[in-house]
């Protein structure tokens, strides 16, 4: 186990697209960049860049990248190198990736679980969506998570950051009624006792 200095030099989205095109697996830009792709403009600075893949494809990622890239399993601030052909334990859902020999991190890979063709929300597995419905695509062909799903990850966290609130306030005026209602229903499902964002999600 290693403690690598957390210095980021995120790959541009265009480079992510070219890299993942070679893998022949479904993938989506996630995090704040996904929301900016929905807006169609950069709304704030981003420290890193996240890519989502499904767990069934994770070993294709390992096989394809480990000749030029180092993939680290990230858990509670600790990073452990994911060796080529090593079986990834099912509880790992976050990989940090950098070029071999580099001291800077280039992108994260978030691993999502599926069941019977449905995406499963990791914090409450009763919240699902057909896998083909979790993303949208830019005119340039870049796939990204739908805004209501990305905002659920942000709002459903145990620690909501200032940038998460900014993202919500930025997206709400342009999201559709259907998107907002799905987010509200999902937060109600995860937090039946109430959630600070639910009152903001009036349509």
**Dihedrals φ, ψ of 121, to 5°?**
-75, 120
Note the pTM of the prediction, 2 decimals: 0.94
Residue 33 is inside which H or E element, if any? helix 31-39
Any domain includes 121: yes
Any domain includes 98: yes
Tens digits of residue pLDDT in 170-194: 999 999 999 999 999 999 999 999 9
| CATH code for the domain in which residue 65 is found | 3.30.460.40
Quote the number of domains for the chain: 1
Tens digits of residue pLDDT in 100-135: 999 999 999 999 999 999 999 999 999 999 999 999
Any domain includes 53: yes
Tens digits of residue pLDDT in 55-84: 999 999 999 999 999 999 988 878 999 998
Q: What is the CA radius of gyration of the chain?
A: 17
3-state secondary structure of 67: coil
Other C-beta atoms closer than 10 Å to the C-beta of 130 total: 11
Inter-residue contact 98 to 70 (CB < 8 Å): yes
Any domain includes 159: no
Other C-beta atoms closer than 10 Å to the C-beta of 179 total: 20
Instruction: Provide the residue range defining the domain that includes 28.
Output: 13-146
């Amino acid at each position: 186990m290693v403690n690598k200095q957390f210095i980021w030099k995120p790959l541009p989205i265009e480079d992510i697209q070219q890299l993942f095109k070679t893998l022949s697996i479904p993938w989506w830009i996630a995090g704040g960049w996904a929301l900016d792709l929905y807006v169609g403009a950069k709304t704030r600075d981003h420290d890193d860049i996240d890519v989502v893949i499904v767990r069934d494809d994770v070993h294709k990622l390992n096989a394809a990248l480990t000749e030029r890239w180092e993939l680290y399993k990230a858990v509670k601030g600790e990073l452990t190198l994911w060796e080529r052909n090593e079986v990834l334990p099912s509880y790992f859902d976050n990989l940090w990736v950098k070029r071999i020999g580099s001291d800077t991190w280039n992108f994260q890979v978030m691993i999502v679980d599926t069941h019977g063709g449905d995406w499963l929300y990791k914090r409450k597995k009763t919240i699902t969506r057909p896998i083909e419905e979790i993303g949208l695509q830019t005119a340039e062909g870049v796939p990204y998570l739908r805004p209501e799903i990305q905002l659920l990850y942000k709002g459903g966290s145990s620690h909501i950051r200032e940038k998460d609130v900014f993202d919500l306030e930025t997206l709400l005026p342009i999201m559709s009624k259907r998107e907002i209602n799905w987010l509200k229903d999902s937060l109600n499902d995860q937090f039946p006792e109430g959630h600070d964002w639910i009152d903001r999600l009036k349509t």
